[in-house]
Amino acid sequence: MSVPRFIALIPAAGVGERMGTSMPKQYAQLAGRPMLQHVMETFSSSSLISHTFVVVSANDAYISDLPELPRTTILKCGGAARQDSVTNGLLAIGSQTEDDDWILVHDAARPGLTHDLLDKLIAFVKDDAVGGLLALPMVDTIKRSDGHGRSEMTVERSALWSAQTPQMFRYAQLLQALQQAQQVTDEASAIEAMGHRPKLVEGSARNFKVTLPQDLLLAELIFKDQGMS
């Protein structure tokens, strides 16, 4: 029986409408390079990751401008939603992947991932029966809106976590979960729908998702402060 490998899958077919830019947000400049390039380089330079697959749309006009990286393959099979892109990517790599290989799905818009966080996730999850994900315990007081801009109640936060990525699950189980699930926004949701409970591994605030223009400015400050440019 072969030893399971750790394979990264980066869905990068989104258009990033909330960023208000003319290009998809994963190609926005961050510390002198496209944001997606930072993400790809983190995985490509990790000794634990066997291979990295990046899923882009069939008509992506920007990916060819990025430099080629070792052990990295571009898949032009992205879908309309994240779930579609990840599923299509998994199907595309099926002939190169064993059922028990670990797939680490990571957002193209989370450039703050570090080798330490990646190593931590793998160390905590590699022997788990289900899999897991980076996440952060909620620390702010959480309010539930009444739908009209007013606070209806305060939500108990002690059991609440904010999901991050990578999210790490076995190839065969993840593919099955995504094919069966309906409109999930992350891989853990699909696994949960099968009745499993993914492991929560504490991540870092720096591993936030760039969604709005001000998020990119914050990421720029973090990269400059830590000399990551």
Least confident of 14-18, 68-72, 166-170, 221-225: 14-18
| pLDDT for the residue 84 | 97
**Would you place residue 77 in the very low, low, confident or very high pLDDT band (cuts 50, 70, 90)?**
very high
CB-CB contact of 183 with 116 (8 Å): no
Cβ of 171: how many Cβ atoms within 10 Å?
21
Least confident of 12-16, 112-116, 183-187: 12-16
pLDDT above 90 covers a percentage of the chain that reads 86
Evaluate the omega torsion of the peptide bond into residue 70 and state whether it is cis, within 30 degrees of 0: no
**Would you place residue 229 in the very low, low, confident or very high pLDDT band (cuts 50, 70, 90)?**
very low
Grouping H, G, I as helix, E, B as strand and the rest as coil, residue 171 is helix
Mean pLDDT of 162-185: 97
184 torsion bin: left (phi>0), alpha (psi -120 to 50), beta (else)? beta
Average pLDDT of the chain?
94
The whole-angstrom separation of Cα 13 and Cα 101 is: 24
Mean pLDDT of 152-160: 94
Mean pLDDT of 77-93: 97
Grouping H, G, I as helix, E, B as strand and the rest as coil, residue 136 is strand
151 torsion bin: left (phi>0), alpha (psi -120 to 50), beta (else)? beta
Question: Is pLDDT of 72 > 80?
Answer: yes
**Would you place residue 213 in the very low, low, confident or very high pLDDT band (cuts 50, 70, 90)?**
confident
**Contacts of 21 by beta carbon, 8 Å cutoff, 6+ apart:** 28, 213
Question: Is pLDDT of 127 > 80?
Answer: yes
The whole-angstrom separation of Cα 174 and Cα 154 is: 34
Fold of 6-225: Spore Coat Polysaccharide Biosynthesis Protein SpsA; Chain A (3.90.550)
Place of tokens 């739908």: 147
Mean pLDDT of 175-189: 96
Q: Which amino acid is at 109?
A: A
